Structure 1
Amino acid sequence: MTLSLAAKALLCGSVAVSLLGCQSQNPVEPTNETLQEQQVHIPFEKYTLDNGLTVILHEDHSDPLVHVDVTYHVGSAREEVGKSGFAHFFEHMMFQGSEHVADEEHFKIITEAGGTLNGTTSNDRTNYFETVPANQLEKVLWLEADRMGFLLPAVNQTKFENQRETVKNERGQRVDNQPYGLRSEKNGEALYPAGHPYSWLTIGYVEDLDRVNVNDLKAFFKRWYGPNNAVLTIGGDINADETKEWVEQYFGSIPRGPEVAEPEPQPVTLAEDRYVTLEDKVHLPLLQITYPTVYARHPDEAPLDVLADILGGGKTSLMYKNLVKEGIAVQAGASHPCRELACEFQLIALANPQNGMDLGALESVIDSTLAEFETRGVNADDLQRTKGGIEASTIFGLQSVSGKVSALAAGETFYGKPDLVQEDLERYRNVTAEDVMRVFKQYVKDKHSVTVSVVPQGQADMAAAPQNFEMPPRQIPQQAQPAETVETVSIEDDFDRNVEPAAGPAPTVEVPEFWKTKLAPAIDMVGVTSEETPTVTLTLNLEGGMLLDPMDKAGLAYITAAMMNESTQNYSNEALSNELAKLGSSIRFSASGRYTQVSVSTLTKNLDKTLALLNEKLFSPAFLQSDFDRLKARMVQSLQQSMRNPDYMANRAKELVLYGDETRVSLPSSGSLETIANITLDDVKAFYDTFYTPSHASIVVVSDLTQVEVASALSFLSEWQVRDYEIPTFSDFPQYEQPHVFLVDNPNAVQSVVYMVKRAMTFDATGEYFLSRLMNFPLGGAFNSRVNLNLREDKGYTYGASTSFIGGKTLGWFEAHANVTAVNTVDAIKEMMKEIKNYRENGITDAELQFMQNAFTLSDALEYETPASKVAFLRQLLAYDLPDDYRDQQTMMIKNVSTKELSELAKSQLNIDDMQIIVVGDAASLKEPLKALGLPVETLSLN
Structure 2
Amino acid sequence: MLKRFTSLVLLVILATSCGKQTEPAPQEFNVEFEKFKLDNGLEVVFHIDRSDPVVAVSLTAHVGSAREKEGRTGFAHLFEHLLFLESENLGKGGLDKMTARIGGSGANGSTSRDRTNYLQTVPNDALEKMIWAEADKLGWFINTVTDPVLAKEKQVVKNEKRQGVDNQPYGHTSYVIDKNLYPNDHPYNWQVIGSLDDLQNATLADVKEFFTRWYVPNNVTLTIAGDFDAKQAKEWVEKYFNEIAAGEPIKPLTPRPGKVAEIKKLYHEDNFARLPELTMTWPTVEQFHPDSYSLDVLTDYLSSGKNAPLNVLLIDNKQLTSNVRMYNRTSELAGQAQLAVRAYADKDLDEVAAAIEEAFAKFELEGISDKDLSRIKAGQETRFYNTLSSVLGKGVQLTEYNIFAHDPGFINQDIQNMLGVTTEDVMRVFKQYIYKKNYIATSFVPKGNVIAALEDSEKAEVVEEQIVQGAEESFDASIQAEYEKAPSTFDRSVEPPNGKTPEVTIPAVWEDSLANGLQVYGIENHEVPLVQFNMVIDGGQLLDDPGKVGVANLLAQLMTKGTKTKTTAELEDAIDQLGASVNVYATTESTTIAVNTLSRNYDEVMTLVKEIILEPRWDSVEFELAKQSTISRIRQLEASPNSVAQNEFNKLIYGEGNIRSQNILGSIKSVEAISLDDLKNYYDKYISPSVTRMHVVGDLGKVNIIASLQNLITDWESKDVSIPAYDAPSRPDTAKVYFYDIPNAKQSMLQFGYPAMTSNSPDYYPAVVMNYILGGGGFASRLTQELREGKGYTYGIRSSFAGGKVAAPFTISSGVRSNVTYESAQLVKDILTNYPSTYTPQDLETTKSFMIKSNARAFETAGAKLTMLENISEFGWDPDYMKDREKIVNEMTVERIQELSGNYLDPNKMIWVVVGDAKTQLQGLEKLGFGKPILINQEKVSMDVDK
TM-score range, shorter chain: over 0.9
Q: Structure 2 counterpart of 1:189, which letter?
A: K
Question: Which residue in 2 is equivalent to 1:210?
Answer: 200
- Aligned ranges 1:539-688 → 2 under 5 Å: 539-688=534-683
Question: Which residue in 2 is equivalent to 1:83?
Answer: 72
Task: Give secondary structure in 2 for the equivalent of 1:43.
Answer: strand
1:70-120 residue CA offsets vs partner (Å, 9 max, x unmatched)? 110000000011110000001111011011121213111012211122010
Q: Structure 2 counterpart of 1:133, which letter?
A: P
Question: Which residue in 2 is equivalent to 1:739?
Answer: 735
For the residues of structure 1 that align with 2:483 and 2:142, how far apart are their CA atoms? Answer: 6
Question: Which residue in 1 is equivalent to 2:255?
Answer: 265
1:306-352 residue CA offsets vs partner (Å, 9 max, x unmatched)? 11111112334111221123321121021101001110111111101
Question: Which residue in 2 is equivalent to 1:419?
Answer: 409
Is 2:268–2:459's contact at 8 Å kept on the other side of the alignment?
A: no
Provide closer, same or farther for how the CA distance between residues 926 and 396 of structure 1 changes in structure 2, counting only shifts above 3 A.
closer
For the residues of structure 1 that align with 2:630 and 2:655, how far apart are their CA atoms? Answer: 23
Larger deviation, residues 141-150 vs 567-576: 567-576
Task: Give secondary structure in 2 for the equivalent of 1:593.
Answer: coil
Question: Which residue in 2 is equivalent to 1:796?
Answer: 792
Task: Give secondary structure in 2 for the equivalent of 1:560.
Answer: helix
Is the counterpart of residue 753 in structure 1 residue 746 in structure 2?
A: no
For the residues of structure 1 that align with 2:427 and 2:292, how far apart are their CA atoms? Answer: 13
Question: Which residue in 2 is equivalent to 1:333?
Answer: 325
Question: Which residue in 1 is equivalent to 2:344?
Answer: 352
Task: Give secondary structure in 1 for the equivalent of 2:497.
Answer: coil
Provide closer, same or farther for how the CA distance between residues 913 and 415 of structure 1 changes in structure 2, counting only shifts above 3 A.
same
Provide closer, same or farther for how the CA distance between residues 756 and 396 of structure 1 changes in structure 2, counting only shifts above 3 A.
closer
Q: Structure 2 counterpart of 1:567, which letter?
A: G
- Aligned ranges 1:768-807 → 2 under 5 Å: 768-782=763-777, 783-807=779-803
1:270-316 residue CA offsets vs partner (Å, 9 max, x unmatched)? 11111110111211211100011111111211111111111112334
Is 2:77–2:192's contact at 8 Å kept on the other side of the alignment?
A: yes
Question: Which residue in 2 is equivalent to 1:538?
Answer: 533
Provide closer, same or farther for how the CA distance between residues 471 and 179 of structure 1 changes in structure 2, counting only shifts above 3 A.
closer
Question: Which residue in 2 is equivalent to 1:294?
Answer: 285
Residue 39 of structure 1 and its aligned partner are, at CA, apart by: 5.0
For the residues of structure 2 that align with 1:743 and 1:149, how far apart are their CA atoms? Answer: 48
For the residues of structure 1 that align with 2:114 and 2:639, how far apart are their CA atoms? Answer: 32
Question: Which residue in 2 is equivalent to 1:6?
Answer: none
For the residues of structure 2 that align with 1:513 and 1:862, how far apart are their CA atoms? Answer: 15
Is the counterpart of residue 835 in structure 1 residue 831 in structure 2?
A: yes
Is the counterpart of residue 180 in structure 1 residue 170 in structure 2?
A: yes
- Aligned ranges 1:718-737 → 2 under 5 Å: 718-719=713-714, 720-731=716-727, 733=729, 736-737=732-733
Match of 1:320 among 311, 332, 346: 311
Match of 1:908 among 903, 916, 936: 903
For the residues of structure 1 that align with 2:68 and 2:937, how far apart are their CA atoms? Answer: 45
Provide closer, same or farther for how the CA distance between residues 923 and 490 of structure 1 changes in structure 2, counting only shifts above 3 A.
closer
Residue 734 of structure 1 and its aligned partner are, at CA, apart by: 6.8
For the residues of structure 2 that align with 1:648 and 1:38, how far apart are their CA atoms? Answer: 45
Is 1:540–1:697's contact at 8 Å kept on the other side of the alignment?
A: yes
For the residues of structure 1 that align with 2:724 and 2:450, how far apart are their CA atoms? Answer: 48
1:173-230 residue CA offsets vs partner (Å, 9 max, x unmatched)? 0000011111111111111111211111100011111122111111100010001000
Is 2:305–2:569's contact at 8 Å kept on the other side of the alignment?
A: no
5+ residue gaps, structure 2, are 1-5, 13-22, 464-480, 940-947
Residue 424 of structure 1 and its aligned partner are, at CA, apart by: 1.3
Residue 764 of structure 1 and its aligned partner are, at CA, apart by: 2.2
1:777-818 residue CA offsets vs partner (Å, 9 max, x unmatched)? 111111121111111011111001122111110122111121
Q: TM-score, normalised by structure 2?
A: 0.93
Provide closer, same or farther for how the CA distance between residues 525 and 19 of structure 1 changes in structure 2, counting only shifts above 3 A.
farther
For the residues of structure 1 that align with 2:541 and 2:895, how far apart are their CA atoms? Answer: 40
Q: Percent of aligned pairs with the same residue?
A: 35
Question: Which residue in 1 is equivalent to 2:361?
Answer: 371
Residue 886 of structure 1 and its aligned partner are, at CA, apart by: 1.8
For the residues of structure 1 that align with 2:305 and 2:444, how far apart are their CA atoms? Answer: 23
For the residues of structure 2 that align with 1:39 and 1:942, how far apart are their CA atoms? Answer: 64
Q: TM-score, normalised by structure 1?
A: 0.93
1:663-700 residue CA offsets vs partner (Å, 9 max, x unmatched)? 20101221222322221110000000111111111111
Question: Which residue in 1 is equivalent to 2:15?
Answer: none
Task: Give secondary structure in 1 for the equivalent of 2:44.
Answer: strand
Q: Structure 1 counterpart of 2:736, which letter?
A: H
Question: Which residue in 2 is equivalent to 1:875?
Answer: 870
For the residues of structure 1 that align with 2:717 and 2:501, how far apart are their CA atoms? Answer: 50
Is the counterpart of residue 516 in structure 1 residue 507 in structure 2?
A: no
Is 2:282–2:438's contact at 8 Å kept on the other side of the alignment?
A: yes
Is 1:289–1:346's contact at 8 Å kept on the other side of the alignment?
A: yes
1:391-417 residue CA offsets vs partner (Å, 9 max, x unmatched)? 222333442111110011001111211
Is 1:843–1:902's contact at 8 Å kept on the other side of the alignment?
A: no
Is the counterpart of residue 762 in structure 1 residue 758 in structure 2?
A: yes
Is the counterpart of residue 277 in structure 1 residue 267 in structure 2?
A: yes
Is 2:176–2:460's contact at 8 Å kept on the other side of the alignment?
A: no
Task: Give secondary structure in 2 for the equivalent of 1:510.
Answer: coil
For the residues of structure 2 that align with 1:834 and 1:863, how far apart are their CA atoms? Answer: 33
Q: Count residues in correspondence.
A: 902
For the residues of structure 2 that align with 1:620 and 1:402, how far apart are their CA atoms? Answer: 40
For the residues of structure 1 that align with 2:48 and 2:858, how far apart are their CA atoms? Answer: 19
5+ residue gaps, structure 1, are 1-16, 24-33, 474-485
Residue 386 of structure 1 and its aligned partner are, at CA, apart by: 1.9
Is 2:731–2:754's contact at 8 Å kept on the other side of the alignment?
A: no
Residue 499 of structure 1 and its aligned partner are, at CA, apart by: 0.4
Larger deviation, residues 130-139 vs 862-871: 862-871
Q: Structure 1 counterpart of 2:917, which letter?
A: D
Is 2:283–2:433's contact at 8 Å kept on the other side of the alignment?
A: yes
- Aligned ranges 1:147-226 → 2 under 5 Å: 147-226=137-216
1:365-408 residue CA offsets vs partner (Å, 9 max, x unmatched)? 00100001001111112211122112222333442111110011
Task: Give secondary structure in 1 for the equivalent of 2:786.
Answer: helix
Is the counterpart of residue 42 in structure 1 residue 31 in structure 2?
A: yes
For the residues of structure 1 that align with 2:237 and 2:591, how far apart are their CA atoms? Answer: 49
Residue 733 of structure 1 and its aligned partner are, at CA, apart by: 4.2
Match of 1:503 among 473, 493, 498: 498
Is 2:54–2:121's contact at 8 Å kept on the other side of the alignment?
A: yes
Task: Give secondary structure in 2 for the equivalent of 1:760.
Answer: strand
Is 2:797–2:812's contact at 8 Å kept on the other side of the alignment?
A: yes
For the residues of structure 2 that align with 1:926 and 1:536, how far apart are their CA atoms? Answer: 50
Task: Give secondary structure in 2 for the equivalent of 1:141.
Answer: helix
For the residues of structure 2 that align with 1:88 and 1:884, how far apart are their CA atoms? Answer: 42
Task: Give secondary structure in 1 for the equivalent of 2:873.
Answer: helix
Match of 1:228 among 212, 218, 226: 218
For the residues of structure 2 that align with 1:487 and 1:664, how far apart are their CA atoms? Answer: 58
Is 1:386–1:582's contact at 8 Å kept on the other side of the alignment?
A: yes
For the residues of structure 2 that align with 1:39 and 1:505, how far apart are their CA atoms? Answer: 34
For the residues of structure 2 that align with 1:799 and 1:51, how far apart are their CA atoms? Answer: 36
Task: Give secondary structure in 1 for the equivalent of 2:248.
Answer: coil
For the residues of structure 2 that align with 1:444 and 1:493, how far apart are their CA atoms? Answer: 56
Residue 41 of structure 1 and its aligned partner are, at CA, apart by: 4.9
Is 1:253–1:491's contact at 8 Å kept on the other side of the alignment?
A: no
Task: Give secondary structure in 2 for the equivalent of 1:525.
Answer: strand
Is the counterpart of residue 251 in structure 1 residue 241 in structure 2?
A: yes
Task: Give secondary structure in 2 for the equivalent of 1:884.
Answer: coil
- Aligned ranges 1:842-921 → 2 under 5 Å: 842=837, 844-921=839-916
Task: Give secondary structure in 2 for the equivalent of 1:816.
Answer: strand
Task: Give secondary structure in 1 for the equivalent of 2:512.
Answer: strand
Is 1:19–1:38's contact at 8 Å kept on the other side of the alignment?
A: no
For the residues of structure 2 that align with 1:419 and 1:393, how far apart are their CA atoms? Answer: 19
Task: Give secondary structure in 2 for the equivalent of 1:69.
Answer: strand
For the residues of structure 2 that align with 1:338 and 1:121, how far apart are their CA atoms? Answer: 15
For the residues of structure 2 that align with 1:937 and 1:392, how far apart are their CA atoms? Answer: 52
For the residues of structure 1 that align with 2:333 and 2:160, how far apart are their CA atoms? Answer: 26
For the residues of structure 1 that align with 2:526 and 2:347, how far apart are their CA atoms? Answer: 53
